[in-house]
Amino acid sequence: MENTARVKSEEMVSRIDGRLAKNKVVKGIFLTATIFTSIILIVLLYRIISQGAPYLTWDFFQNFASRRPEQAGIKAAVIGTLWMMSVVIPTAAILGVGTAIYLEEYAKKNKLTRWIQMNISNLAGVPSVVFGLLGLTIFVRVFGFGNSILAAGFTMALLVLPVVIVAAQEAIRAVPKELKEASFGLGATKWQTIYRVVLPYAIPGIATGSILAFSRAIGETAPLIVVGIPTFVAFLPSGYLDSFTALPMQIYNWTSRPQVDFHNLAAAGIIILLAVLILMNSVAVWIRNRYQAR
Amino acid sequence: MKTTNKELSPVQQLLEKKYNSGFLNRSEKIIPAVLFLMAAVSVLTTLGIVLTLIFETITFFGDVSIVEFFTAKEWYPFSGTDPVYGIWPLVLGTLKITIIASLFAIPIGLAVALYLSEYASARTRKIMKPILEVLAGVPTIVYGFFALTFITPVLRGIFPSLEMFNAISPGIVVGIMIIPTIVSLSEDALSSVPESVRQGALALGSTKWETASKVIFPAALSGILASIVLGVSRAIGETMIVSIAAGSTPSASLDLTTSLQTMTSYIVQVTTGDAGFGTTIYYSIYSVGFTLFIFTLLMNILAQFISKRFREEY
Amino acid sequence: MALTAVNTTKNNQSVQNEELFVYNTKNLNLWYGEHHALKNINLGIKEREVTAIIGPSGCGKSTYIKTLNRMIDLVPGVKTTGQIEYRDRDIFSKDFLVEELRTRVGMVFQKPNPFPKSIYENIAFGLKIHGIKNKQIITETVEKSLRGAALWDEVKDRIHEPAYGLSGGQQQRLCIARCLALEPDVILMDEPTSALDPVSTLKVEELIQELKEKYSIIIVTHNMQQAARISDKTAFFLNGEVVEFNSTDTIFNNPADSRTDDYISGRFG
């Protein structure tokens, strides 16, 4: 008996080297995958910056779209995106926070509430191109907004709404119940407690999540195409029912042309788009870090 | 009442007034109703999507036979004389892209997730988190541009027979796009396995790999599977990368090196063109959109089912 | 025995003016779902006294005090029968809005829970939600309340700074000041010193002694010595029932029920 036991443990010891070697190989493979992923991002950014940076001139910001690449600019697209976001942000923020307050503070924990919640998470998984079809039918045709800022803005607002709702719900859920008790204990009504205690505490969290959602709306292209937003626009909109173009539409237009010059313009447009997104993300991270200390 | 005997302070006087005038102003009743209506918007959105797709698809099937839609092996709507609407080539296009993307993204995504949760130092994790966040935040139009202007030329340098528009390049880039989804959800699942389980395995003399593959990975399997399903669902619905880099030729061939069309890129092709409202082509995008919606809905339900059904209890 | 409590109440009622009772609880029962948490409670609580409620964990003392200002409503699935009268008004009645009840009856919680606002804003909160906007009244009330909570001298130079900068004991006194701003009739205290160090605890206890001149105080405490030190009356709760309610002196020196004796002499709980 004793002998076999010793043989067994010796056998086990003799295998350790092999097992450790295997561990090392696997670790190496995993590390390679991780480095590879980072390299993809570096290559992507490097390609776009090296292609587009020379085109980032003052004229590029000042000019409208043009058939001649050397005269083409991004003015209409940048202004158009700003117009569109002035619809998306208030619409999605008000509906998103309102829904989150309803679900977290007012809704009873019953089947209807669970169904609404499930509906929201399913909505988050619907492809953006399908939201485009919704916008095309409801906003462009039924409401008669045409291919306007309003139609595109509402479509985008609905697209990012589930993300805003979920972020706001998490932020509201994180409000300590002691603070709510303190407010109720002083005779505050439910809405006073929500408005004066819950929301002020939750706003940094809501803002962080919402900014990320809005940055998605800035970069989305497919719904705009389906809603019928034109790519070649040589004027600025003057109202919400005007036609317009947006940054990703302009980039798409330049990308789908065969000439390399237009590709370089697309890269320049992408630099602007990414710069805006990185700026927004930094603001979100800044807010998160600033208020996390609480 | 006792309180009436003594002098009331200004605060008490004001409060007494309030008690008499009643506490609940109208807003306390209106606000919940207003908030409920806001919550109803997201339900109406779902309803709007489903009803839009159903009604416009029904109109489409007034023009095109439903049998043709499911059985014809050709999608050839732009023929003036004899258009054919068989969804199969578009579904096949979507499948080709999705499979290439999955083959690319699943192994890499899981490798990165395992590295980050089991091997990486806190510092490495701190570096990788923002990199993955940026990758997740890059708009798909940018990925499309990258596929067309970088990946395709590189691949054609290696395989000269590859056409300008093909399945491989956009497939790989869709894969890149879904890597962050797979990594972050899988890593959440892996790192929610309690530290005590990990220590238990290591204390028996297991190597890190043995611990990860035999204990942690199986324990986190449902979360990992759900992350894969969600990633695949995003690949199915991805639009811009394929519109830019895969071409616009509906094809029933299994060749990966030639131009193809997916369900999503067909919708984009029609809506960028001048297909007038009311034409059969116009309604066809809803039938394609409906098919796409069903595919992604099934994937999302599957993901929810997996993470609910196999939720680990620690 | 529960009978003792009822008898005391009845005797007092027959001899003295009924208005002296701020709270009168009659046959109160409370369930959390299936769990019967309060069983047939009868208690008469007198004005301008400190009434302590003691008992082991889970005896229902916290539940009872939270029922007195209906904070218990926030817990889903709670059911009550019986009556609680606050100054002869049924607190469960539809005509008695819970907001009015909670304004007349202040509450101090286990953990100090100031709002993430300035000291000034914490105290002004109660006034503002009740529509008092006059700046002069607010400023005067802030000072008066802070003095009332023996905090003014410590914070007068920084009342516009965040309340989170205060120590735990100061925070709890700020929460008391926040209550005082609404000049309540009764102050309910749910283990107010359980999260505080001994020095802060002593300060709060001294404050309670001062406050009883003007307010009726009901305090739940886990700490028997505290009850003995600061209260006039003590109710001993066990398994959701009032075992004994009498003057603090009697409860601690000459309890009628053997279970009370066992608890105060530390044989359980």
pLDDT digits (tens, 9 = 90+) for A208-259: 999 999 999 999 999 999 999 988 888 899 999 999 999 999 999 999 998 9
Mean pLDDT of B273-281: 83
CA C98 remoteness from chain centre: 16
Q: What is the pLDDT of residue B313?
A: 57
Which among C102, C114, C164 has the least Cβ separation from residue A186?
A: C102
pLDDT surpasses 50 at B1: no
Which among B46, B138, B207 has the least Cβ separation from residue A20?
A: B207
pLDDT surpasses 70 at A5: no
Q: What is the pLDDT of residue B79?
A: 81
pLDDT surpasses 50 at B211: yes
Q: What stretch of H or E contains C21?
A: strand C21-32
Give me chain A's average pLDDT, please: 92
CA nearest A135: which of A146, A125, A123? Answer: A146
Q: Do A169 and A123 fall within a single domain?
A: yes
CB contact under 8 A, C126 and A186: yes
User: What SS3 state is found at C241?
Assistant: strand
Q: What is the pLDDT of residue B80?
A: 78
> Which of A110-114, A224-228, B225-229, C18-22 is predicted least confidently?
C18-22
Q: Do A78 and A221 fall within a single domain?
A: yes
Q: Do A23 and A131 fall within a single domain?
A: no
Which among C74, C109, C130 has the least Cβ separation from residue A182?
A: C109
Size of interface A-B (CB pairs under 8 A): 245
Q: Over pLDDT 90: what percentage of chain C? A: 83
User: What SS3 state is found at C41?
Assistant: strand
Q: Do A95 and A34 fall within a single domain?
A: no
Which among C101, C109, C182 has the least Cβ separation from residue A181?
A: C109
**Rounded (10°) angle between helices B88-114 and A2-52:** 120
More confident of the two residues B7 and C182: C182
Distances (CA, A) of A288 to A186, A207, B178, B194: 30, 9, 25, 27
Q: Over pLDDT 90: what percentage of chain B? A: 78
Which residues of A fall within a CB distance of 8 Å from B276? none
Q: What is the pLDDT of residue C124?
A: 96
Q: What residues are paired with B85 via a beta bridge? A: B75
CB contact under 8 A, C103 and A186: yes
* Cβ partners under 8 Å of residue B143, min gap 6: B173, B174, B176, B177, B240, B241
Which residues of C fall within a CB distance of 8 Å from A198? none
Mean pLDDT of B16-27: 73
Q: Over pLDDT 70: what percentage of chain B? A: 95
Range of A24's domain? 2-55
Paired tokens of B206: 């297991």
Burial A243-259, CB ≥16 within 10 A → b, else e:
bbbbbbbbbbbbbbeee
**Domain's final residue, options A33, A55, A77:** A55
* Cβ partners under 8 Å of residue C214, min gap 6: C48
Chain B contact partners (≥3 CB pairs within 8 A): A, C
Q: Do A105 and A36 fall within a single domain?
A: no
Q: What is the pLDDT of residue B310?
A: 65
Q: Please report which confidence band the pLDDT of residue B23 belongs to, taking 50, 70 and 90 as the band edges.
A: low
Distance (Å, whole) CA B116 – CA B125: 6
CA atoms within 13 A on the CB side of C151: 30
Paired tokens of A214: 């809005």
Distances (CA, A) of B312 to B110, B190, B224, B263: 19, 12, 12, 37
Distance (Å, whole) CA C186 – CA C85: 13
Which residues of C fall within a CB distance of 8 Å from A201? 116
DSSP class of A148: B
Which among B35, B139, B292 has the least Cβ separation from residue A219?
A: B139
Q: What is the pLDDT of residue B25?
A: 66
pLDDT tens for residues A261-274? 999 999 999 999 99
Q: What is the pLDDT of residue B6?
A: 54
Query: CB contact, 8 Å: C131 with chain A?
Result: no
Mean pLDDT of A18-32: 93
pLDDT surpasses 80 at B7: no
Which residues of B fall within a CB distance of 8 Å from C19? 1-2
Q: Do A88 and A223 fall within a single domain?
A: yes
Q: Do A71 and A50 fall within a single domain?
A: no
C193, C223 in Cβ contact below 8 A?
Answer: yes
Which residues of A fall within a CB distance of 8 Å from B128? 34, 37-38
What residue of C is the nearest CA neighbor of B18? C130
Distance (Å, whole) CA B82 – CA B74: 12
CA B201 remoteness from chain centre: 35
What residue of A is the nearest CA neighbor of C100? A187
Entry pTM: 0.90
- Give the number of domains in chain A: 2
Mean pLDDT of B6-35: 79
Distance (Å, whole) CA A99 – CA B35: 6
Q: Please report which confidence band the pLDDT of residue B173 belongs to, taking 50, 70 and 90 as the band edges.
A: very high
Q: Do A41 and A125 fall within a single domain?
A: no
pLDDT surpasses 80 at A70: no
* Cβ partners under 8 Å of residue A42, min gap 6: none
Q: Which residue type, as a one-letter code, is found at position B118?
A: E
Mutation target for C interface from A186, A193, A291: give the one with most C CBs within 10 A.
A186
> Which of B213-217, B295-299, B304-308, C67-71 is predicted least confidently?
B304-308
Which CATH number goes with the domain that contains A93? 1.10.3720.10
Q: Do A48 and A172 fall within a single domain?
A: no
Q: What is the pLDDT of residue B24?
A: 61
Q: Which positions of chain C have pLDDT values less than 70?
A: 1-19, 269
pLDDT surpasses 90 at B22: no
Distance (Å, whole) CA B87 – CA B255: 18
B70, B288 in Cβ contact below 8 A?
Answer: no
A168, A97 in Cβ contact below 8 A?
Answer: yes
Which residues of C fall within a CB distance of 8 Å from B21? none
* Cβ partners under 8 Å of residue A50, min gap 6: none
Q: Please report which confidence band the pLDDT of residue B3 belongs to, taking 50, 70 and 90 as the band edges.
A: very low
What residue of A is the nearest CA neighbor of C107? A185
- Residue ranges of A 110-169 with Cβ closer than 8 A to chain B: 116, 118-123, 125-134, 136-138, 141, 158, 161-162, 165
Q: Do A32 and A105 fall within a single domain?
A: no
Distance (Å, whole) CA B176 – CA B168: 12
pLDDT surpasses 80 at A7: no
Which among A180, A192, A200 has the least Cβ separation from residue C129?
A: A192
Which residues of C fall within a CB distance of 8 Å from A192? 129
Number of CB atoms found within 10 A of residue B37's CB: 14
Query: CB contact, 8 Å: A267 with chain B?
Result: yes
What residue of C is the nearest CA neighbor of A202? C116
Q: What is the pLDDT of residue B314?
A: 56
User: What SS3 state is found at B220?
Assistant: coil
Q: Are strands C105-108 and B84-85 parallel, antiparallel or unpaired?
A: unpaired
User: What SS3 state is found at C116?
Assistant: coil
pLDDT surpasses 50 at B261: yes
Number of CB atoms found within 10 A of residue A265's CB: 28
Distance (Å, whole) CA A26 – CA A11: 23
Q: What is the pLDDT of residue A13?
A: 77
What residue of C is the nearest CA neighbor of A182? C113
CA nearest B19: which of A187, A207, A261? Answer: A187
Which among B23, B124, B137 has the least Cβ separation from residue A189?
A: B23
Distance (Å, whole) CA B35 – CA B21: 26
CB contact under 8 A, B14 and C130: yes
Q: What is the pLDDT of residue C50?
A: 95
Q: Over pLDDT 90: what percentage of chain A? A: 80
Which among C69, C103, C115 has the least Cβ separation from residue A182?
A: C115
Q: What is the pLDDT of residue A15?
A: 81
Q: What is the pLDDT of residue C5?
A: 44
Which residues of C fall within a CB distance of 8 Å from A174? none
DSSP secondary structure string, C165-216?
GS-HHHHHHHHHHHHHTT--SEEEEESTTTTS-HHHHHHHHHHHHHHTTTSE
Size of interface A-C (CB pairs under 8 A): 64
CA B72 remoteness from chain centre: 29
pLDDT tens for residues C3-35? 444 444 444 444 445 557 899 999 999 999 999
More confident of the two residues C77 and B172: B172
Q: Do A43 and A135 fall within a single domain?
A: no
**Domain's final residue, options A55, A77, A94:** A55
What residue of A is the nearest CA neighbor of B286? A133
Q: Do A41 and A111 fall within a single domain?
A: no
Distance (Å, whole) CA B286 – CA B58: 9
More confident of the two residues C21 and B87: B87
